[in-house]
């Protein structure tokens, strides 16, 4: 594979809470290829969003920091070593992000048009207002907003959740970025709107040759719309593979259990499965494999040693799993 657009190597992020250090993301490596959708799946608090913020080097320095790792963009530039101007250039121009809550992603005191034009202005200062307005209105109809002229002059509180998320997407693609990070973009929306939004993202991907990093806790969405999937648990990488492989034949016990608990039509009337136990407290992590207290295939070695990553190749695609079962 030679079309990696983003390479993340050994990323570790720490947060400080009450003078204690929490390792929110521990030694994660993965690649993003051009024009692909990569899903990062995991439970709440497993570090998905932290990974997303790290890619843009957006970890608030009062709260935490990236201790080790490299994030290589376009095979050349290490995002973590960039200076302020280069970062400014990268964020927004090359990589953009959509947050999960469309209700807090738009400034309530500025009109939609003002906010979009402002982004354009900071990247293309040479454009004049009427050109920018035309571009923005064009873009709004691109993200399937009806009556873009009216929406242009509206305040966010006058719009529905779906409309707002479309505007966030518009803000995300307004500068023609190469990578779009979507941090749970459908969590705050109802199911039908969520479906529209995801379909919009896929269609934009084809049109604009975008790479999408899709962060979600919804396995269905990940299966349906991504090329590859990364599963995370308690700040660590667990399994990575092509969507087909993971949905049909997951290797790691955690992924297997996640699949088992999905409610499906043929389970109608039966009790829903669940994974026993709960996500470990990040301050007192279990020894050895972080998943072992909840794992149904736990072995002696799991409680003592930390598993390494095993690679296997299927259909020409390199998949990875982090479990002693495959030693």
Query: Can you give the binding site for other proteins, defined by CB under 8 A?
Result: 56, 58, 61-62, 88-89, 91-93, 96-97, 99, 101, 104-110, 115, 118-119, 122-123, 155, 157, 168, 171, 175
- The DSSP symbol for 82 reads -
Given the complex with other proteins, which of 52 and 231 has the nearer CB atom? 52
Given the complex with other proteins, which of 88 and 203 has the nearer CB atom? 88
Residue 261 phi/psi, 5-degree rounding, is -80, -5
Given the complex with other proteins, which of 112 and 321 has the nearer CB atom? 112
CA 46 to chain centre: 12
Q: For the chain, how big is the Rg over CA atoms in Å?
A: 21
**CB 314 to other proteins: min, Å:** 37
**CB 145 to other proteins: min, Å:** 18
**CB 120 to other proteins: min, Å:** 9
Sign of the Cα torsion 111, 179, 212, 239 reads negative
Residue 68 phi/psi, 5-degree rounding, is -135, 170
Given the complex with other proteins, which of 142 and 290 has the nearer CB atom? 142
Structure tokens at 130: 């009427």
**CB 76 to other proteins: min, Å:** 20
**CB 79 to other proteins: min, Å:** 13
Q: CA torsion, points 99, 102, 107, 112, in degrees to nearest 10?
A: 110
**CB 77 to other proteins: min, Å:** 16
Bridge partner list, 28: 11
Given the complex with other proteins, which of 170 and 289 has the nearer CB atom? 170
Given the complex with other proteins, which of 208 and 306 has the nearer CB atom? 208
Sign of the Cα torsion 137, 141, 142, 145 reads positive
CA gap 151, 54 in Å, rounded:
33
Given the complex with other proteins, which of 79 and 323 has the nearer CB atom? 79
**CB 119 to other proteins: min, Å:** 4
**CB 134 to other proteins: min, Å:** 19
User: Do the beta carbons of residue 37 and residue 205 sit within 8 Å?
Assistant: yes
Q: Strands (DSSP E) along the chain, which ranges?
A: 4-17, 20-33, 37-41, 64-73, 77-78, 95-98, 179-183, 211-216, 228-233, 236-242, 310-314, 317-321
Given the complex with other proteins, which of 140 and 258 has the nearer CB atom? 140
């Amino acid at each position: 594979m030679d079309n990696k657009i983003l390479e993340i190597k050994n990323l570790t992020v720490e947060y400080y809470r009450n003078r204690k250090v929490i390792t929110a993301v521990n030694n994660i490596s993965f690649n993003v290829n051009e024009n692909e959708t990569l899903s990062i799946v995991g439970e709440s608090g497993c570090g998905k969003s932290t990974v997303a913020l790290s890619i843009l080097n957006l970890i608030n320095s009062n709260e935490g920091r990236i201790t080790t790792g490299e994030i290589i963009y376009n095979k050349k530039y290490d995002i973590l070593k960039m200076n302020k101007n280069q970062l400014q250039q990268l964020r927004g121009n090359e990589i953009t992000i959509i947050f999960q809550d469309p209700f807090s992603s738009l400034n309530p005191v500025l009109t939609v048009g003002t906010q979009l034009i402002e982004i354009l202005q900071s990247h293309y200062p040479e454009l004049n207002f009427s050109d920018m307005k035309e571009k923005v209105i064009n873009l709004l109809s691109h993200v399937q907003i009806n009556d873009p002229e009216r929406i242009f002059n509206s305040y966010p509180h006058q719009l529905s959740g779906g409309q707002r998320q479309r505007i966030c997407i518009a803000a995300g693609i307004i500068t023609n970025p190469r990578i779009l990070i979507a941090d749970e973009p459908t969590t705050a929306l109802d199911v039908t709107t969520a479906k529209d939004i995801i379909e919009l993202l896929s269609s934009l991907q084809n049109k604009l040759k975008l790479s999408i990093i899709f962060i979600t806790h919804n396995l269905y969405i990940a299966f349906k719309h991504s090329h590859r999937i990364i599963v995370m648990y308690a700040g660590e990488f667990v399994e990575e593979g092509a969507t087909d492989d993971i949905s049909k034949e997951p290797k790691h016990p955690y992924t297997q259990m996640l699949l088992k608990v999905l409610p499906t039509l043929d389970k109608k009337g039966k009790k829903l499965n669940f994974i026993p136990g709960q996500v470990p407290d990040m301050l007192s992590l279990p020894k050895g494999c972080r998943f072992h207290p909840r794992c149904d295939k736990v072995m002696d070695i799991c409680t003592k040693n930390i598993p390494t990553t095993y690679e296997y190749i299927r259909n020409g695609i390199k998949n990875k799993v982090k479990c002693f079962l495959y030693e």
